[in-house]
A and B are shown apart, each in its own frame.
Chain A
Amino acid sequence: MDTVIETADLRRHYKGFEAVRGVDLTVARGELFALLGTNGAGKTSTLEVLEGQATPTSGTVRVLGRDPYRDRAAVRPRIGVMLQEGGFPTELTVTETARMWAGCTSGARPVAEALELTRLTQRRAVRVKQLSGGERRRLDLALALLGRPEVLFLDEPTTGLDAQSRHETWELIRELKEQGTTVLLTTHYLEEAEQLADRLAIMHGGRIATSGRVADVVAERPSRMSFELPPDFFLGDLPPLAPLGVTRQVNTGRTVRLETADLQRTATGLLLWARDEDVALRGLDARSATLEEAFMEIAKGLESEGAR
C-alpha cells in the first residue's frame, strides 16, 4: 500500500490544554478519508499539522513521505489546502484572486478551468465582498484545486453551502478522487462522510474514538427494532430474545424496543412468531445502525468515561 499520510502518536498542546492526544492515522494513495468529531474534538488542530501549518508537540507526521513542516518547500507544491476559515482581499474580483493564487502555485491549471470546476464562471468579475458565503467557500476550493494537487486537505468544505452546491461539491470531490487525488476532509455532516469517504475516523477529546470503513464503523453499533406488544399478550409470551441476537431490551408502556447485533435473525424470529400466533405487530420498525447513531454513541460514551 502506498501510504500518503501517516501520523504516529501525534500530540499538540496549547497553553495548558492538550488539543490532540495521540492520534495515529494512515491514509493510502487515492483514498478519501473523513475526519469527524464534535466541535473542539481536535480535527482542525490535527489538520494544521498535516498541512504543515504547525509542528506537533510530539509524535511524528509524514505527508508524501516527508515532514510537511520542515520540508514544506517540497511538499506544498503537491498538496492543496482549504482552511475552515481563510480570507481573501475583499476588493479583488474572483478572477483576480484566482490569478494571484495561480501566480504562486506550481503547475497551476488555467484560472478559467478552476473557476469552471467550482461553478464560479458566471461570478468571475464579481468582487469577493459581494460573494455569498457559499460562493466564497467555492472560491476557496477553486484555489485549493489550482495546482492539481496529489493530496487535498479540506477543512469543512461544504459548511455554509446550500443543498445543491453541496451536492455539486460532492460530485467534484468524487471526480477528483477518481483521478487519483488523495483527499482528507473534515466535516460536520455525517451524510457527507457516508457519501464520500472510503474510511473515516471519529475524533473526540483529541483522540480517535473509532476508525475504519463506514460500514465497519456502523456495523459495530447495534441495529434497532421496535413494535407494540399485541393486546392480551405479555412480554413472557415473546420467544426467547437472546438466541435471536438481541442485546438489550427497553419497554415503555406496551412498546418494546430491542437492540440487536443481528437484525435479520431478530426480525425473522419475531415475524415468524407473529405469524404463528396470528397477531399484528403494530408500529413495527426495524433499522440498521446509522453513522449518526454511531457518532452520537461515541460522543456520549466517551463523555461518561471522561466523567468517571
Chain B
Amino acid sequence: MTTSAARTGRTHTATPTRVTAMDRLAALGRAELTLLLRSKASLVTAVVLPSVMAFAMRGVVKELDLSGTGLSVATVMLPAALAMALFFSVYTNLVGVYVLRRETLVLKRLRTGEVRDWEILVGNALPAFLLAAVQSVLLAIGMTAFLDADAPAAPHLAVFGLFVGVAMLVAAGALTAAFTRTAESAQLTFLPFLLVTMAASGVYAPREVMPDPMADIAAWLPFSPVMDLLRGGWTGGPDGVDQLRAALLALAWTGLAVFGVRRWFRWGPRG
C-alpha cells in the first residue's frame, strides 16, 4: 500500500452536511429495488400472481348470487384485484425481505450506522410500494376495460383504502417476520393472515353474501375495512358514518400492528 496522507486525509474542514431521512430512504430503496429486480421468484410472485388470480376469479364471482347486495361482478372483482396486488407485492414479499435481511445480518449491520430503525423498515419496503402503485393502476385500468365497468364513483375512497392498506400490510409484514425464524419458513408464515383475509374479509366473495352472524364478525377483521374502502371507491360506498368507521378501524389495526412491531421485531438472528 502506498503511504500518503492524501489517501486517507480529510478533505473537508467544515461540519459535513448531514444526510436527511429522505437521503437515507432513497439509498435504501434504491438498493432494495436493485435486489428485487434481480430476484426473479419474488418478481413473479409480486407481479404475475395477483393479475392471474384476479382474472381467474371471474368465473367464481359470476356464480355468486349478488342480487340484493347492490354489487356487480365489476364492483366485486376490482377491489379484489387491488387487494391481491397489495397482498402479494407488499405483504408476502416483505415478510420474506425482512426475514432474509435479518437472518443474513444485514439489519444488524445497518443499525450500526445513522439510519433509524423505522427508516430501515420503510426503506426496505419502498420497492414494494412502487410495485403496489403500478399494479393498482394497471389492474384498475385493465379490469375496467375487461369487465366494461363504470368509472369509480368515489376514487378518493379507493386511494385512501390503498394507502391505509399498504401501511397495514407493511406493519403486518414486519410483525409476521418477527415470528418467522428462517427464510425458508417465510414461505409459509404469511399464509394464515393471507388465507383468513382472502376467505373472510370479502376478497374472494363479498361479506354481503355471507350468513349474517359470520359477516358481522368478519367485518371486524383487519383487512375488512380496507376492502370496504376499496369497494366504496367504485360503488360510491356506504354512507359517511360507515366510511368513517371503516377508516378508523383500519387505522386502529394498523396502529396495533405497529405497536406489535415495536414490541417484538428482532434485528438479528436469535442468539
Give the interface of A toward B (CB within 8 A).
51, 53, 73, 76-77, 81, 83, 85-92, 96-97, 99-109, 116-117, 119, 140, 143, 145, 147-148, 168, 171-172, 175-176, 178-179
Contact A102 B108 (CB under 8 A): no
Contact of B104 among A90, A102, A147, A171 (CB under 8 A): A90
B244 at the interface (CB under 8 A from A): no
Q: How far is the CA of A53 from the CA of B113 in the complex (A)?
A: 10
Contact of B114 among A86, A106, A171 (CB under 8 A): A106
Contacts of B112 in A (CB 8 A): 51, 53, 81, 83, 86
Whether A101 contacts B108 by the Cβ 8 Å rule is: no
Is A100 touching B1 in the complex (CB atoms < 8 A)?
Answer: no
Can you list 14 A-B contacts with CB-CB less than 8 angstroms, sorted by A residue number?
A89-B31, A89-B106, A90-B104, A92-B31, A97-B31, A101-B27, A103-B26, A106-B18, A106-B114, A116-B7, A117-B8, A175-B8, A179-B5, A179-B10
Which residues of the other chain, B, contact A109 by a CB distance below 8 angstroms?
11
Assuming the A-B contacts A117-B7, A168-B1, are A76 and B30 also in contact, with contact meaning beta carbons closer than 8 angstroms in the complex? no
Q: Is B156 engaged at the interface, CB distance under 8 Å to the other chain?
A: no
Contact at A92–B109, with CB atoms within 8 Å?
A: no
Interface residues of B in 7-44 (CB under 8 A from A): 7-12, 15-19, 23-24, 26-28, 30-31, 34-35, 38-39
Min CB distance A124 to B, Å, is 15
Q: How far is the CA of A117 from the CA of B109 in the complex (A)?
A: 20
- CB of B5, distance to nearest CB on chain A (Å): 7
Shortest B3–chain A CB gap in Å is 6
The smallest C-beta distance from A88 to any residue of chain B, in angstroms, reads 6
Task: Assess whether A77 is in contact with B18, with CB atoms less than 8 Å apart.
Answer: yes
A87 with B26, Cβ < 8 A, contacts A92-B34, A172-B8 known: no
Contact pattern, B 89-128, Cβ under 8 Å of A = 1, otherwise 0: 0000000000001001110111111110000000000000
Smallest CB separation, B24 vs chain A (Å): 5
B26 close to A119 (CB less than 8 A): no
The CA-CA distance from A145 to B39 in the complex, in Å, is 30
Are A88 and B109 within 8 A (Cβ)? yes
Chain B residues within 8 Å of A140, by CB: 109
| Total A-B contacts with CB atoms under 8 angstroms apart | 113
Residues of B with C-beta under 8 A to A119:
1
Give CA–CA (A119, B7) in the complex, Å: 12
Residue among A91, A100, A147 with max Cβ neighbours from chain B (10 Å): A100
A104 touches B106 (CB 8 A): no
Beyond A77-B114, A89-B31, A106-B16, whether A171 also contacts B10 by CB under 8 A is: no
B24 touches A104 (CB 8 A): yes
CB of B51 to closest CB in A, whole Å: 25
Could you tell me if A89 and B35 are in contact, using CB atoms closer than 8 angstroms?
A: yes
The 8 nearest A-B residue pairs measured at CB = A107-B16, A103-B27, A87-B105, A86-B109, A100-B31, A81-B112, A87-B104, A87-B106
**Known contacts A77-B18, A91-B38, A96-B34; A104/B28 CB under 8 A:** yes
Which residues of chain A are within 8 angstroms of B113 by Cβ–Cβ distance? 76, 81, 101, 104-105
Instruction: Assess the B30–A103 pair: CB atoms within 8 A.
Output: yes
**A contact residues around B11 at 8 Å (CB):** 109
Q: Note all chain B residues with C-beta closer than 8 A to A101.
A: 27, 113
In the bound complex, do residue A179 and residue B106 qualify as a contact, i.e. CB atoms below 8 Å apart? no
Contact (Cβ within 8 A) A104 B8: no
Name the distance in Å between B4's Cβ and chain A's nearest Cβ: 8
Chain A residues with Cβ below 8 Å from B12 are: 107, 148
Find chain A residues with CB under 8 A from B108 CB.
83, 85-87
In the assembled complex, which residues on chain B have CB atoms less than 8 Å from the CB atom of A92?
31, 34-35
Residue of B nearest to A101 (CB): B113
| Cα-based distance from A244 to B105 in the complex (angstroms) | 57
Nearest Cβ in chain A — how far from B98, in angstroms?
13
Residues of B within 8 A of A53 (CB): 111-112
| Chain B residue nearest to A119 in the complex (CB) | B1
What residue of chain B has the Cβ atom nearest to residue A87's Cβ? B105
Q: List, in ascending order, chain A residues with CB within 8 A of B115's CB.
A: 104
Of A99, A140, A168, which is in contact with the most chain B CB atoms at under 10 Å from its CB? Answer: A99
> A89–B109 Cα gap in the complex (Å)?
11
Q: How far is the CA of A16 from the CA of B38 in the complex (A)?
A: 45
Specify which chain B residues have a CB less than 8 angstroms from the CB of A143 in the assembled complex: 109
CB neighbours (8 Å) of A91 from chain B are 34-35, 38-39
Sample of 7 more A-B contacts, CB < 8 Å, known A85-B105, A104-B28: A76-B114, A83-B112, A87-B106, A89-B106, A100-B31, A116-B7, A172-B8
Instruction: Tell me the smallest distance from the CB of A137 to a CB of chain B, in Å.
Output: 13
Q: Are A100 and B30 interface neighbours, CB within 8 A?
A: yes
B7 adjacent to A175 (CB under 8 Å): yes
Name which of A91, A99, A103, A119 has the most chain B CB atoms within 10 A of its CB. A103
Distance between B124 CB and nearest chain A CB, rounded to angstroms: 10
**Contacts A92-B35, A117-B8 given: A104-B114 contact, CB under 8 Å?**
yes
Chain B residues within an 8 Å CB radius of A81: 112-113
